[in-house]
Chain A
């Protein structure tokens, strides 16, 4: 039954995507100055967006990626919205998901304030810079950068091998001074697992880049947070994933405010996106409890590669 549901979900996503490709007005979207006359009733796109985001929410959970990272490339590639609005809404989508998941992660100590706060201060400050940079640059430049970033994310998802419990022999001075350590309860083994960070300075430096990219593209940044926290700084995978999700609630807040204040949020498209993705995530979590389909992850990587190349070509005017 679960397999059938998954098949249906995939078929729905592919049908929606192929529908957009078959829609000539949207195919003409390759050139930014072409504005097709709206020939659909006003409720058409919000409704399609709600259904699309619901399916996206399910797939994001099953593939183990954030909603924002799928939302921006797919919606900017296949919907008639300008990239400015897609990025603004993408940040709100990622923010809503992070805020909804944050409390549970904090209570279980899987998201840790001592690890998150110093990193968040850097990332959120840089996300503001990134948001201004993204809004100041010409759309085609942002499209090219976005395309390259999405391709990079797809490659990262393919080749990055996270470590369950990295070995940290000695904590560095900054990590020690900031008290970046703690422990969590590992349910599978019934033990308390202690952790501490190393290479903290380099990690903090990388969050400058992560913050700028998060603000510039509205993608969320879980795809970058987790490898840095886990592989570089030595946080256990569960702590890295939990803290990363919580971190988004702070990083995306600062960038989202810039987009919001600049007029990049249109409620008609923002609310169905947020609600659709959240509902989809709840259904996705239920499906995940009974099945861990690896194939979904590979489909998502494939779709991301396709969307990345499409954004790149769009930016290059090809």
Chain B
């Protein structure tokens, strides 16, 4: 596959597969975000940060906000997912995770085609995105 030129105007099968997964995943995440936000606004679940204090907090630099509101960093929000505000992070995290999930579908296709440069690029991209998502970099110092 190295050095080949795709002369067909049609998208490659791996590209179509990526697109399909991205389509369903992204819209599901956005729908989930809307539902969890409505749950939050309706006050069905108690929020971690009281809604009347948010106006003060969002004017502060993030490090002060984290300190004063005692916001968990990284994936620490998962422990408080039953709180109305942190429930919203489910949809947001899924939205942020869709690209990583989609990249996994490319690996078998590039292995099958013996397209080693793109296989390496896909694996590196997964590692980079997973590193960013892991929270190790953000929480680590």
Contact = CB atoms under 8 A, between A and B. Distances in A.
Interface of A: 35-36, 38, 40, 42-43, 45, 80-82, 84-85, 88, 92, 95-96, 99-100, 102-104, 106-109, 112-114, 117-118, 120-121, 124-125, 128, 132, 135, 139, 176-179, 181-185, 192-194, 196, 249-250, 253-258, 260-272, 274-275, 278
Contact of B7 (A104, A132, A194, A256): A194
B11 A128 contact: no
Given A82-B62, A96-B30, A271-B37, A45 B6 contact: no
Contacts of B16: 106-107
Given A183-B9, A257-B132, A267-B85, A114 B62 contact: no
Tell me the interface secondary structure of chain B in the complex: helix
9 contacts: A36-B59, A88-B62, A99-B26, A112-B15, A121-B125, A128-B132, A249-B99, A254-B129, A257-B135
Contacts of B33: 271, 274-275
Contacts of B124: 121
Given A99-B26, A183-B8, A261 B139 contact: yes
B92 A260 contact: yes
Nearest to A193: B9
A108 B10 CA distance: 7
Given A128-B137, A177-B2, A266-B54, A271 B10 contact: no
Given A81-B58, A117-B121, A124-B125, A96 B95 contact: yes
B55 A45 contact: yes
B46 interface: no
Given A42-B55, A250-B125, A270 B132 contact: no
Interface string B98-131: 1110000010000000010110011011001101
A75 to B, nearest CB: 11
A249 to B, nearest CB: 6
Nearest to B98: A99
Contact of A183 (B7, B40, B41): B7
Interface of B: 1-12, 14-16, 18-20, 22-23, 26-27, 29-30, 33-34, 37, 40-41, 51-52, 54-62, 65-66, 71, 73-75, 85-86, 88-89, 92-93, 95-96, 98-100, 106, 115, 117-118, 121-122, 124-125, 128-129, 131-133, 135, 137-139
Nearest to A195: B5
A96 B96 CA distance: 9
A188 B89 CA distance: 43
A38 B52 CA distance: 9
Contacts of B59: 35-36, 80-82
B128 A121 contact: yes
A258 B131 CA distance: 10
Contacts of B133: 257, 261
**What 6 A-B pairs have minimum CB-CB distances, sorted nearest first?**
A38-B55, A261-B138, A267-B88, A103-B23, A106-B19, A99-B26
Given A177-B2, A271-B88, A275-B34, A261 B18 contact: no
Given A121-B128, A183-B9, A85 B2 contact: no
